[in-house]
Amino acid sequence: MSKIRIAIAGASGRMGRMLIEATLQAPDAELVAAFEREGSSFLGKDAGELVAAPCGVAITSDVAAGLAQADCLIDFTRPEGTLEHLALAQANKCAMVIGTTGFSAEGKAAIAEAAKHIPVVFAPNMAVGVNAVFKLLDVAARILNEGYDIEVIEAHHRLKVDAPSGTALRMGEVVAKALGRDLESCAVYGREGVTGERDSQTIGFATVRGGDIVGDHTVLFAGIGERIEITHKSGSRMPYALGSLRAARFLAGREAGLFDMQDVLGLR
C-alpha cells in the first residue's frame, strides 16, 4: 500500500514542527512538502532539521508546486493564509485538513464551497480526546437539561490571537444544539460590572491567556448542591498532529466533501 503524501503549511511554527515530527514517524505517511511565508528565514532549510530528523524536504514558499506532488495538505496557520492555500489545494485536486481557527462566516462559507470539489476535514480541534469530549457533552447536556447553569472555561498560551478558542466555541455549539438553543443568541462572552442575575438560558464563556499553556477546556454544569465538570487538558501538541494524520487517512480516496473529526472517528 502506498504512503499518503503529506504537505504541511506553517512548517516553522509550533504546530508545524509537531506535524513534521508526527509525519516523519508515521509508517504510512511521507512528508513531500513544507511551506513558509515568502521572506521567512527558514526557506531552503531541511524541514526535518526543525525536529532533529533531516529528511531531504526543503521548506519552500511555492505552495502550488508543493501541492502538485501531495495527496493532502495539513494547515494550522491563520485564516487568511489558509484560505489562500485552500484555493491552491482545490486547483491541484489536493485533499486538505484544516485545523486553523478564527474564521469569519465568509471564510467558513469558502471552505464549504471548496469542499464541493475536494475532500476537506475542517475541525476546531483535531485531538481524538477532545472529540470524545464533544460526544460526552452532547450526552451530558441532554441529561442536565434543567436546573443547571453552563459555563465554558478555556486557557491557552499567551501567543494565541483568537478568543474564545475554536474548541471552546464548538463545545458551546454542541451543548446549545443538545438543548435546542441557538448559541449566537444565548452566549455570554465575559462579564464585568453590575451584570444582574444570571439568565439560566445563557451559556457563558471565560478565557484565560498566559505562559505556555497548550490548551485546557472545561465545561461546567452548575446545579443546586452539585457541579459536573467535563475537562480536557493538553500536555503537548502531539495529539493534534496525530489526529490530523488520522484525518488525512480518512480523506484518502475520497473525491469531495466537508467532514469534521466526528466523521473521522465515526461518532455521528
Q: Which residues are catalytic?
A: 156, 160
- The Cα–Cα gap between 220 and 143 comes to 14
* Rg over CA atoms, the chain: 19
Alpha helical stretches, state H, 116-237: 128-143, 166-179, 183-186
Sign of the C-alpha dihedral, residues 112, 247, 119, 16? positive
> Which cell numbers hold the place of 203?
451559556
> Which cell numbers hold the place of 137?
457533552
Residue 56: burial class (beta carbons within 10 Å; 0-12, 13-18, 19+) = exposed
Is the peptide bond between 164 and the residue preceding it cis, with omega within 30 degrees of 0? yes
Say if residues 176 and 243 touch (Cβ distance below 8 Å): no
- The Cα–Cα gap between 257 and 268 comes to 15
Task: Put the strands of the sheet holding 203-209 in their side by side order.
Answer: 187-189, 203-209, 149-156, 215-222, 227-234
Report the alpha-carbon angle 142-207-98, nearest 5. Answer: 75
